[in-house]
Amino acid sequence: PILNSQVRRIRGIKWSQTHRCWYLPMDEKCCREALKIFSGSANTDTSDLRTYLVKRKEVAMITEEIPAIRARSPITAKTLVRYAISDENMKALYAFVHTLVLKAYSPSTIKNYKNEMMVLLRLLGDRAVDQLDTKQIKSYLLWLLKKKNYSEMHLHTAINAIKFYFEKVLNRPRTVYEIPRPKKPFTLPAVHGQQSITTLIKGTENLKHRLMLMMAYSAGLRVSEVVSLQVNDLDTERKVIHIKRAKGKKDRQVPLSERLMKDLELYLKNFNPGTWLFEGQAKGEPYSVRSAQSVFQKAKEKAGIGKKSGFHSLRHSYATHLLENGTDIRLIQDLLGHNSIRTTVRYTHVSTRDLNKIQSPLDRLDL
């Protein structure tokens, strides 16, 4: 927070939501202002932080684990050192990330595994992670479960990250960590009725935003798939959409809605996008996932939909409405790109196709 407050003062500097970094014009005046902050010549409050950055070239990202941030107290060099990762463990972290990249893991998986690995490395302090044995790792996992209140899915990610390091980076034998896990709750996906979807889309006046919502609902796309669509992915002649390298690095084809094609033709004429179908604020950059989620939330508020749901509920609604209209569940599995039919079967629990055939005993009473 301290460093960000100083960076914001630099003339012309902006934040890139897509690349998650600051950028500024390449001119002498801007660069001089930036250098003043990091060289210490500017009158700033970052002396402690600068001292630490000079002392250590490699610093782990500060997360919510730091009590000083939670308490909104000043961040000092002492606080940073306390939660820093040792040089030896930093090398282990680099090897860990590099192996993930070489094995072509997805960016989201790399990020999640790295975060879990950093929690462990911060806790170890100066002790080398390579020295941990199975008993100590199990004790750490139980600590995550009991003290940190990790959910089953979260703990599963932590286990996978640790197993990857010891088995793939250090090439040690496979190890099974028998950890008692809480029973996973069975939750139903959030689904909107067709009338709610109609109100949602009609109330969105911005053509680009409306088309994004229509695209997600008409083809059951994830938000990441919507913002990753390229103009060439739309085959209007065959009326199909090519979804490339989606979750699990799988390609698939889904039908291109005829109703969608009307708005799509108007959109392409007015916006004239380049490579990406939905461009962000900067020309040539794709729309960000966070911005797309914000578009959905604003459209939901405008439509007066109080149900708690996110952008992904459009995909849930697509699958449920197909099922209610009599589409074979195996075909829905292929359209959604699910590996297992068990993932698709859960939509049978929210479908009203069979529920509407059941008459409540109350309705038979002569009241």
Tell me which of 56, 114, 252, 312 is the catalytic residue. 312
Which residue is catalytic, options 315, 316, 318, 321? 315
- 308 is annotated as an active-site residue: no
* Residue 56 falls in the annotated catalytic set: no
Whether 318 is a known active-site residue: answer: no
Q: Using CA atoms, how far apart are residues 312 and 4, in angstroms rounded to an integer?
A: 32
Chain Cα centroid distance, residue 234: 25
Query: Where do the DSSP E strands lie in the chain?
Result: 14-16, 21-23, 234-235, 240-243, 252-255
Q: Is 316 a catalytic residue?
A: no
Contacts of 204 (CB under 8 A, 6+ apart): 210, 213, 295, 299, 302
| CA separation, residue 254 to residues 115, 217, 235, 312 (Å) | 34, 12, 10, 17
Q: Is 338 a catalytic residue?
A: yes
Q: For this structure, is 357 an active site residue?
A: no
Say if CB 148 and CB 184 are below 8 A apart: no
Q: What element of type H or E holds 111?
A: helix 107-124
Catalytic residue among 247, 252, 298, 346: 247
Question: What tokens were used for 251?
Answer: 């390609």
Q: Is residue 129 classed as helix, strand or coil in its secondary structure?
A: helix
User: 339 exposed, middle or buried (CB, 10 Å; 0-12, 13-18, 19+)?
Assistant: exposed
Distance, CA of 238 to CA of 27 (rounded, Å): 49
Annotated catalytic residue, options 122, 222, 300, 321: 222
Q: How far is CA 168 from the centre of its chain?
A: 25
Which DSSP string do the residues of 300-361 spell out, in sequence order? HHHHT--S---TTHHHHHHHHHHHHTT--HHHHHHHHT-SSHHHHHGGGGT--TTGGGPPPG
- Matching residue, tokens 């698709």: 344
Among 222, 270, 5, CA closest to 106: 222
Q: What angle do CA 322, 323, 326 make, to 5 degrees?
A: 90
Of the candidates 52, 140, 217, 347, the residue annotated as catalytic is 347
Q: Quick one: CA torsion of 287, 223, 214, 299, rounded to 10 degrees?
A: -80
Give the length of the chain: 367
- Catalytic (active-site) positions: 222, 247, 312, 315, 338, 347
